Amino acid sequence: MTRLSVNINKIATVRNARGGNVPDVTKAALDIERFGAEGITVHPRPDERHIRYADVREIRPLLHTEFNIEGNPTVQSFVDLVLEVAPDQVTLVPDGHDAITSNAGWDTVANKALLTDLVNTFHSKGIRTSIFIDPDPAMAYGAAACGADRVELYTAAYAEQYTKDREKAIGPYLETAKAAREAGLGLNAGHDLSLENLSYYIRTIPWTDEVSIGHALISDALYLGLEKTIQAYLAQIGKK
């Protein structure tokens, strides 16, 4: 059954906008777990404009659910951080240093040598490794050839097209999900998933292992409150 991992970057963004420690990112992570989320996701960037490396180090030993760190593994400081804290999962994302948010998946064929080396590096510490990909079956097969444990489907295009034609929007994701399953990979999904589009995605691709949701969930929490929002998202994946 699909697990809900909450990306807490936006909470850190609010804190950093003012300085100090309000809101408290570590307390928020623990509250999110207490409210029923099954994982915490962070995406530390080198400029630390939201989650800071110090946050990752502080949060790691306190969590009781899954900890997922995502980021660009071509940055050595990111690799060093992941190896130091040894999360349950690392998600490899090819985002540029100046990207506002993740905006593309890996070409797992063109970058096979690099990704294989990275997967082996993280496996040496017992860290499950997921590769962020666009909805393209060839990229799923390529990730399997790199030795990855999972892929995370970049769902921005699905979310953008959902209100126009949801069947057409999910088509490439369903085909890629089938390819991932055929290749023996676990399956994650994330980016712009929301209360509006999440349930249909999970009903169509029920073997999704995990969804990582941040922006929409934290935005909904402004109106509903954090605990009620997490319960609402769990309901969308059939947990409540």
Q: How far apart are CA 12 and CA 221, in angstroms?
A: 15
Cα dist from 204 to 53, 166, 169, 173, 209, whole Å: 36, 11, 11, 10, 13
3-state secondary structure of 204: helix
76 touches 113 (CB < 8 A): no
Helix (H) or strand (E) holding 1: none
Q: Catalytic annotation on 191?
A: yes
Q: Sign of the C-alpha dihedral, residues 148, 211, 217, 173? A: positive
Instruction: Kindly give, in sequence order, each residue whose CB lies less than 8 Å from that of residue 124, ignoring residues fewer than 6 positions away.
Output: none
Catalytic residue among 38, 152, 191, 210: 191
Amino acid identity of 53?
Y
Choose the catalytic residue: 33, 38, 66, 70: 70
End-to-end CA distance of the chain: 12
Annotated catalytic residue 70: yes
Do 71 and 89 meet the contact criterion of CB atoms below 8 Å apart? Answer: no
**Token pair belonging to 136:** 């393209």
Beta bridge partners of 129: 90
Of the candidates 43, 66, 152, 210, the residue annotated as catalytic is: 43
Active site residues: 43, 70, 191
